[in-house]
Amino acid sequence: MSWKTPGRKLTWADWPVPGNGVKNKNSTSDEGTNDILRVTKELENHGIPCCLVGISALIFYGALRVRPDWEICVPTELVDDAAKLLRSNQYTEDWHPTEPWPYYDKSLVWSYHRFKGKRLNYYFVLVPSRDVHLVCDPANFTRSVRGLPYPKLDVFIQSTLDMYNDLQLVDVVDGTNVSEEWGEEHLDLDGDTDTKWAEDLNKRGAQLAGNRFGAITSYANSMPASKRRLWQEAVRTKEKRLDWTKPKEVYVTQYRFRDEPDPWTVLSDSY
């Protein structure tokens, strides 16, 4: 059916995701989601708060991203305790330690403890909370319908702004379709991005990498930028990010259909 069919208003459910022919973009093959739920519960049961960040959080908040590894954020001071717990013999039938991410990435993911699922083909890493500018505390978490912990939306977007991660900012804005006014109400938009955090990440990244990635030394943008300006640019340009495959009659952002329920309110194989 063409989206131009007269006499009927189409909704998000009528429109396939471009390129894959699937109407429900929240339905995917098994990605180890239930196993990751168990990982988070085991950490929590041993007094280690955790939440899913990075691409996993973007997917939860509506962005169409491909996830290479699940990124599990834990308090920086508890990373080694978490790794020791997950390496213990009681989990040998479920997951096992594996080689770190082999390629350069600004997130320092190549320096993190990494694990691989036994029964399903999935990977997860333990992310120190300082690397994602996040206070990893249950008060800052929300949960998917399945029960997986994620940063609350305002917490996630605030950390994204503070880190000057403009690509992640655009994705979470387009995934959630939040308004400029929402940001003024829920976010701290005064002042600039956190340059001290960026300088520290760059310093630690260079020390950890050594000569591994040649002359690459940049892991975060340490130039100051107005958080309000970044926010305004992201929310005011949603429509400009639509192309011919996403007609305005059907899409409200590059990731959201008109009249679509918020992705984080429904059960999904991905979260």
Answer whether residue 49 is part of any domain. yes
CA count, 13 A, side-chain hemisphere, 218: 5
Quote the pLDDT of residue 46.
98
Domain count for the chain = 1
Residues of the chain with pLDDT under 70: 1-29, 214-217
Answer whether residue 19 is part of any domain. no
Quote the pLDDT of residue 19.
30
Quote the pLDDT of residue 24.
35
Quote the pLDDT of residue 219.
85
Whole-structure pTM value: 0.87
Quote the pLDDT of residue 215.
63
Quote the pLDDT of residue 149.
99
- Its domain, for residue 212, covers 25-265
Write the pLDDT tens digit of every residue in 171-182. Answer: 999 999 999 999
Quote the pLDDT of residue 205.
87
CB burial string 228-250: b at 16+ within 10 A, e below: bebbeebbeebeeebeeebeeeb
Answer whether residue 199 is part of any domain. yes
Answer whether residue 17 is part of any domain. no
Q: How far apart are CA 196 and CA 163, in angstroms?
A: 10
Answer whether residue 15 is part of any domain. no
Answer whether residue 10 is part of any domain. no
Answer whether residue 32 is part of any domain. yes
Q: How far apart are CA 50 and CA 35, in angstroms?
A: 15
Quote the pLDDT of residue 31.
85
Quote the pLDDT of residue 80.
97
Answer whether residue 38 is part of any domain. yes
CATH no. for residue 58?
A: 3.30.460.40
